[in-house]
Amino acid sequence: MWTAHWNELKSMSDSDIMEDVNLPKFGTDRIQLMASVKAEAGRRRLAAAKAELGDGQSALVRVRPAVPVADARAFLREAANDPRVTMAARALDDMSDELVLRTYARVKAFLAPDSDAGDS
């Protein structure tokens, strides 16, 4: 049965096949469909991320040691000279305290395995 339909489609011209199709509406519908698919994918990614974090806080925030901001800035100044660490090209003093502490925790966690290996 489908072969008869296939053969009929093969024998038709493009204009005959697209005769009843409103191309501008077809394009608009396709764009709207893609937007809704992207939005749904974003919602699912967000839900998965929230579920992974559990209480809404990252592991870095939960285990962040109580370090004074000045000490964190000093550590980051020294870490910027480490070839394993690449710091953004902006002044450390222009970063907010929260960003300094977040960056400190990430850099400290990144360098921690190497510092433990060097102590033994």
- The per-residue pLDDT for range 95-119, each reduced to its tens digit, is 888 888 888 888 888 887 755 544 4
Q: Are residues 33 and 65 in the same domain?
A: no
**What type of residue is 96?**
S
pLDDT at 60 over 60: no
Specify if 5 maps to a domain.
Answer: no
Domain assignment present for residue 98? The answer is: yes
105 touches 71 (CB < 8 A) = no
Residues 74 and 97 in one domain: yes
Res 57: pLDDT: 53
Instruction: Tell whether 102 is covered by a domain.
Output: yes
73, 96: one domain: yes
DSSP track, 58-95: -HHHHT-----HHHHHHHHHHHTTSTT----SS-GGGS
- In terms of domains, do 69 and 94 share one? yes
**Total structural domains in the chain?**
2
Give a yes or no: residue 64 inside a domain.
yes
Between CA 68 and CA 74 the distance in angstroms is 10
Q: Are residues 94 and 80 in the same domain?
A: yes
**Domain residues for 88?**
59-119
pLDDT of residue 36: 94
> What average pLDDT does range 68-91 have in this prediction?
84
> Does any domain span residue 87?
yes
107 or 93, which is more confident: 107
Residues 65 and 115 in one domain: yes
Quick check: 120 pLDDT over 50?
A: no
Percent residues over pLDDT 90 in the chain:
17
- Phi, psi angles (nearest 5°) of residue 69: -60, -40
